[in-house]
């Protein structure tokens, strides 16, 4: 298949590009480079030995994107990664999040209709579950729009839009992948997570502490009802997540479906810090801070549906993820800006 990746130069997008190319597919990328790097795609091409056509553009620029797509036609599918993703920023600037995240999804669906592209895989999020009522989370666990931040609300709204589009368009295949917590890097150490500014996610923050760029890790609360008092999350290696996208693409059916992509193994904040310390062979300094508003004590999934339907499941452990993330960070202490 020839697949368009919107936002394909970002962290998850570029790892998925590698997985698709290694599985024998072709990829083309549209990315506005607001939170990604051209160097990431260059390295992905070097790893796979494949060319990756790129259009630097907002996916909502209909004229430019249509021209690019016609130059690379025919396309068989779109994997839609493009969007804004910082929870705190979404609270501070909600209109921008609604504009970009919902607008980009509508633009993708309009493009698909105009170009007769039947399949879309959407980068959704476990945030659509809000405060879990029961664990582990399964695909029919309660979701809603009374979520604690606009980021999660945009993901849930786009899911509804996809469901409606699939119901209205015979033959449309729409799959929403609810990610849990992507971590790690490509095992080569050449491609990894390179957030702009101070990281907002735990593992890249820990990695920058380990490499000496930041002083210590803040642990937001150690009094949760969990084994060590810190929050439990489901951390999935980004290469397992990338393989999940390949499986979703290759097994998509007409209509709309949702799948959890996680490990089903809850890992605490302290356990992740300790695992990274083992990988880096150094102590990771940390300090306990007050709880953050909106954080939940635990969130992890039952990923059985993806195994039963696609034969996919996560294969890599938290130690594997930390080892690969440390290889990336230690070899690229300034990310893709390293000479």
Nearest CA to 323 out of 281, 285, 262, 265 is that of: 281
Please answer whether residues 336 and 194 qualify as being in contact, where contact means their C-beta atoms are separated by less than 8 angstroms.
Answer: yes
* Residue in this structure with the two tokens 């009522």, named with its chain if needed: 133
Q: Is 133 exposed, middle or buried (0-12, 13-18, 19+ CB in 10 A)?
A: exposed
Residues marked as catalytic? 151
- CA 144 – CA 111 distance, rounded (Å): 27
Beta strands 232-237 and 266-268: pairing type? antiparallel
* d(C-alpha 123, C-alpha 159), whole Å: 10
> How does DSSP assign 221-246, residue by residue?
-S-SSSTTSS-EEEEEEHHHHHHHHH
Helix axes 318-331, 269-280, angle to 10 degrees: 50
Backbone angles phi, psi at 88, to 5 degrees: -60, -40
């Amino acid at each position: 298949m020839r697949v368009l990746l919107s936002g394909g130069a970002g962290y998850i997008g570029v790892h998925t590009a590698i997985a698709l190319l290694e599985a024998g597919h072709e990829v083309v990328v549209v990315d506005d480079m607001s939170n990604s790097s051209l160097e990431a795609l260059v390295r992905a091409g070097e790893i796979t030995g494949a060319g990756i056509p790129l259009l630097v553009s907002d996916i909502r620029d209909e004229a430019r994107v249509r021209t690019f797509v016609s130059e690379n036609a025919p396309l068989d599918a779109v994997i839609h990664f493009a969007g804004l993703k910082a929870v705190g920023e979404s609270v501070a600037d909600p209109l921008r999040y609604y504009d970009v995240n919902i607008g980009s999804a509508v633009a993708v669906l309009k493009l698909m209709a105009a170009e007769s592209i039947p399949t879309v895989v959407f980068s959704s999020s476990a945030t659509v579950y809000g405060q879990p009522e029961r664990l582990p989370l399964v695909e029919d666990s309660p979701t809603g729009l009374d979520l604690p931040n606009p980021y999660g609300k945009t993901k849930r709204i786009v899911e509804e839009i996809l469901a409606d589009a699939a119901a209205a368009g015979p033959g449309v295949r729409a799959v929403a992948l609810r990610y849990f917590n992507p971590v790690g890097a490509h095992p080569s150490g050449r491609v990894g997570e390179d957030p702009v500014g101070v990281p907002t996610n735990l593992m890249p923050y820990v990695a920058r502490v380990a490499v000496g760029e930041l002083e210590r890790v803040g642990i937001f609360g150690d009094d949760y009802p969990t084994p060590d008092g810190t929050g439990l999350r489901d951390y999935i290696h980004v290469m397992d997540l990338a393989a999940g996208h390949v499986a979703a693409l290759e097994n998509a059916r007409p209509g709309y479906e949702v799948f959890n992509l996680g490990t089903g193994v809850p890992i605490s904040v302290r356990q992740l810090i300790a695992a990274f310390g083992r990988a880096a062979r150094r102590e990771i300094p940390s300090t306990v801070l007050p709880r953050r508003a909106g954080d939940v004590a635990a969130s992890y999934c039952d990923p059985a549906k993806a195994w039963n339907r696609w034969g996919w499941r996560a294969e890599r452990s938290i130690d594997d993820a930390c080892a690969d993330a440390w290889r990336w960070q230690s070899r690229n202490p300034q990310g893709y800006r390293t000479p």
